[in-house]
Amino acid sequence: MAFTHAFDPTVLREYDIRGIVGRTLHPADAHAIGRCFGSVVARGGGTTVAVGYDGRMSSPVLEPHLVAGLKDSGMEVIRIGLGPTPMLYYAATTMKTGGAIMLTGSHNPPDYNGFKMMLNGKPFFGTQIRDLGRMAATGDVVAKAAGSDRLVDVSGAYIDRLVQDWDGGARALNIVWDNGNGAAGEVLQRLVQKLPGNHTVLFSDIDGRFPNHHPDPTVPKNLDALVTEVRTRGADLGIAFDGDADRIGVVDDSGVMMFGDQLLVVLARDVLKAHPGATIIADVKASQVLFDEVAKAGGAPLMWKTGHSLIKAKMAETGCPLAGEMSGHVFFADKWYGFDDALYAAVRLLGIVARMPGKLSAVRAALPHVINTPELRFNCDDHRKFEVIEEVAARLKSAGAKLSDTDGVRVLTDDGWWLLRASNTQAVLVARAEATGEAGLERLKLALVEQLEASGLEAPDFSGENAGH
DSSP string, 371-404: EE---EEEE--TTHHHHHHHHHHHHHHHTT-EEE
- Do residues 6 and 137 make contact, with C-beta atoms less than 8 angstroms apart? yes
For helices 288-296 and 260-274, the axis angle rounded to 10 degrees is 10
Closest CA to 36 of 154, 119, 136: 136
- Do residues 81 and 159 make contact, with C-beta atoms less than 8 angstroms apart? no
Contacts 24+ apart (CB under 8 A), 141-145: 141/3, 141/35, 141/36, 141/38, 141/39, 141/73, 142/38, 142/39, 142/42, 142/43, 142/73, 142/74, 144/3, 144/72, 144/73, 145/72, 145/73, 145/74
Query: By CB neighbour count within 10 A (0-12 exposed, 13-18 middle, 19+ buried), where does 81 fall?
Result: middle
- Do residues 356 and 363 make contact, with C-beta atoms less than 8 angstroms apart? yes
β-pairing, 257-258 with 237-241?
unpaired
Closest CA to 69 of 42, 104, 106: 42
Angle at 134 between CA 128 and CA 138, to 5 degrees: 145
- In the set 106, 155, 204, 287, the catalytic residue is 106
Q: Phi/psi of residue 77, each to 5°?
A: -100, 125
In whole angstroms, how far apart are CA 270 and each of 50, 74, 165, 298? 33, 45, 13, 11
Give the integer Cα–Cα distance in Å for 120 and 181. 31
Q: Phi/psi of residue 420, each to 5°?
A: -135, 125
Give the integer Cα–Cα distance in Å for 431 and 374. 9
59: annotated active-site residue: no
Amino acid sitting at position 299: G
> Which residues are within 8 A (CB) of 236 and not within 5 positions of it... i.e. 6 or more apart?
173, 174, 175, 253, 353, 359, 360
> Which residues are within 8 A (CB) of 399 and not within 5 positions of it... i.e. 6 or more apart?
none
CA-based end-to-end distance of the chain: 59
What positions carry a catalytic annotation?
106
